[in-house]
Amino acid sequence: MEAIVSNVNEIQVLNLPLERDLFLRNLIRHLSGTLQDVIGVEEASGFISIVGQQVGDEINGEYRKALNVTHIDKSLIGAVLVDLKRRIGGDFYIVSEDDEKIVLGNRQCPFEDKVLGRPAMCMMTSNVFGTITAENLGYSQVELTETIANGAAQCRVVVHLQPNDTDAPRPGIEYYRV
């Protein structure tokens, strides 16, 4: 049986899963998926990294302004990273923190199910975390050891605060203060 809708008011009451947040998450999912399909995951990650760095710079500026500081102290970096993800719908928490690294877990991706199969989207987290940490401490290296995008139940992110001092390469992407 076909429903007859005759005016805008009747359209507005339709039960549709369509609102700004879902629309934007779908848009980012499809953009990253198209990039991954056309140029590959590694190249798509590179493009998303550029956007992530710009977003990281903006967020860093907002936190510095709100905290009324020129640089965020090492003791606050972990809390800032957790707070920013909480504000955008993530569920990040600090697993451990010391002078060498901050290990973060995450139970809920801000992109929700739209991140599944789109590992390039994780570059937003890497670059935002890496940019904020490096701009305030001079250096960071972000290692995404587990991601929901790749099918893990939770994310595990290691933010190294010191350069690698061994001959063995360490996985992750390095960030430096500009």
pLDDT in tens, 92-117: 999 999 999 999 999 999 999 999 99
| Statement: residue 5 has pLDDT above 90 | no
pLDDT at 3 over 70: no
Question: Mean pLDDT of all residues in the chain?
Answer: 93
Domains of the chain: 18-176 (3.30.1380.20)
- 62, pLDDT greater than 90: yes
How far is 152 from 122, CA to CA, in rounded Å? 13
- The 10s digit of each residue's pLDDT in 7-60 is 777 777 777 888 899 999 999 999 999 999 999 999 999 999 999 999 999 999
pLDDT for residue 1 is more than 70: no
Q: pTM for this one?
A: 0.88
Examine the pLDDT at 2 and tell me if it is beyond 80. Answer: no
Give the list of residues 6+ apart from residue 73 with CB closer than 8 angstroms, or none: 136
pLDDT tier for residue 167 given thresholds of 50, 70 and 90: confident
Rounded (10°) CA dihedral 21, 88, 173, 26: -10
Question: Quick one: how far is CA 79 from the chain centroid?
Answer: 15
The pLDDT score that the predictor gives to residue 15 is 79
- 178 pLDDT band, cuts 50/70/90, is confident
Q: What residues contact 96, with CB distance under 8 A and at least 6 apart? A: 102, 103
